[in-house]
């Protein structure tokens, strides 16, 4: 059942029904060139815990955003995903122009 949900999630993403998808975790630090458009990458720590989510700014400027998930000294973000593989990041993310929310794989820009 889980495999079917992931296949359907990929098809929905290809149709443009949501923008971001969850890709396999990367164990090493990521270079900006390694972050594809419309993807959310995870960087894992030494014990396999989620350390950081990495994505490109959704405005199209190409800036790479690093969101700490397991921070000790800084505020951290929470990452969840549904059975279709669509990620949700809380709280809102500071982009290059204004804040946005990533909910079930879709970007919602702040109104202010």
**Highest mean predicted confidence (pLDDT) among 60-64, 69-73, 89-93:** 89-93
Spatial strand order in the sheet of 21-22: 21-22, 39-44, 50-56, 64-68
Which has more confidence, 27 or 59? 59
Q: What is the mean pLDDT of residues 21-27?
A: 54
Q: Report yes or no on whether pTM surpasses 0.85.
A: no
Distance, in Å, from the CA atom of 15 to the CA atom of 91, rounded to the nearest integer, reads 27
pLDDT of residue 14: 72
Nearest of 31, 98, 110 to residue 66 by alpha carbon: 31
Q: What is the mean pLDDT of residues 20-44?
A: 67
pLDDT digits (tens, 9 = 90+) for 77-111: 988 888 877 889 999 888 888 899 989 888 899 88
Distance, in Å, from the CA atom of 18 to the CA atom of 84, rounded to the nearest integer, reads 11
Q: What is the mean pLDDT of residues 50-76?
A: 82
Distance, in Å, from the CA atom of 96 to the CA atom of 58, rounded to the nearest integer, reads 9
């Amino acid at each position: 059942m889980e495999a079917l949900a992931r296949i359907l999630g990929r098809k929905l993403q290809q149709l443009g029904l949501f923008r971001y998808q969850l890709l396999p975790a990367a164990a090493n630090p990521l270079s900006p060139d390694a972050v594809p458009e419309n993807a959310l990458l995870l960087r894992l720590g030494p014990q396999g815990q989620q350390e950081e989510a990495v994505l490109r700014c959704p405005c199209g400027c190409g800036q790479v955003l690093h969101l700490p998930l397991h921070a000790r000294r800084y505020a951290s973000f929470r990452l969840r995903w549904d059975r279709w593989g669509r990620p949700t990041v809380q709280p809102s993310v500071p982009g290059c122009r204004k804040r946005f929310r990533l909910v079930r794989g879709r970007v919602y820009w702040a109104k202010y």
